[in-house]
Amino acid sequence: MKKIVLFMHVSLDGYTAGPNGEMDWIGIGDEMFDTAGSQAERSDVALYGRGTFEIMEAYWPTAADKPNASKHDIEHGNWYNKVNKYVASASMQGQSFSNTTILSDNIIEQITALKQKEGDKQIVMFGSPSLGASLMDHDLIDEYWLFVNPIILGKGKLLFKPQQNAIRLQLVENKTFSNGVICLHYIR
């Protein structure tokens, strides 16, 4: 059985985006790219919600080909182009992208079936807070990598919604990056 690993930037007060979808407050850097890159390489499936996929698809297919591409752009761009992508979106039904399957009906059942496939690699989910909340409701996320940014937004899109049942987690690792972002790695 594959595990689903969620990577998410979050403000100190639990928001994944500002009130108008702003993400300009997110701290990034080579240290974080290396952390995310090592997890991406352990994954043979990427899972996205529509909004995050549109952001990814607008940048990553050609990122490695740009004249001044960074090490991260080359590595992640090459990974993105070869990984099998699944996008949860009713509104994208019928659209076609390279190495991409659109999940538009019975999304939770399809993700559950994807998770039950054999293999030694994992399913990684970068961003996609709405899909993440849905998967949390169905207890489908196995690992949480939360990148807690040193900002209090006060309003916006919350990562955690009220849950019917508690989800108990164990802290495996924490790391503080030079930009003040703290990575918290939890498992169920």
Tell me: the pLDDT tens digits for 97-128? 999 999 999 999 999 999 998 877 999 999 89
| Residue 30, SS3 per DSSP | helix
Q: How many domains does the chain have?
A: 1
CA–CA distance, 103 with 139 (Å, rounded to integer)? 19
CA–CA distance, 186 with 173 (Å, rounded to integer)? 7
Phi, then psi, of 40 in degrees rounded to 5: -60, -40
Q: What is the pLDDT of residue 142?
A: 96
Which is it for strands 43-49 and 84-88: parallel, antiparallel or unpaired?
parallel
| CATH code, 142 | 3.40.430.10
Q: What is the pLDDT of residue 164?
A: 67
The closest of 66, 8, 68 to 39, measured between CA atoms, is 8
The pTM of the whole model exceeds 0.85: yes
Q: Which residues of the chain have pLDDT under 50?
A: none
Q: What is the pLDDT of residue 119?
A: 79
Phi, then psi, of 154 in degrees rounded to 5: 85, -25
Burial (CB count <10 Å: 0-12, 13-18, 19+), residue 77: buried
Residue-number span of the structural domain to which 114 is assigned: 4-187
Phi, then psi, of 68 in degrees rounded to 5: -110, 40
Is the CB of residue 15 less than 8 Å from the CB of residue 22?
no
CA–CA distance, 134 with 75 (Å, rounded to integer)? 30
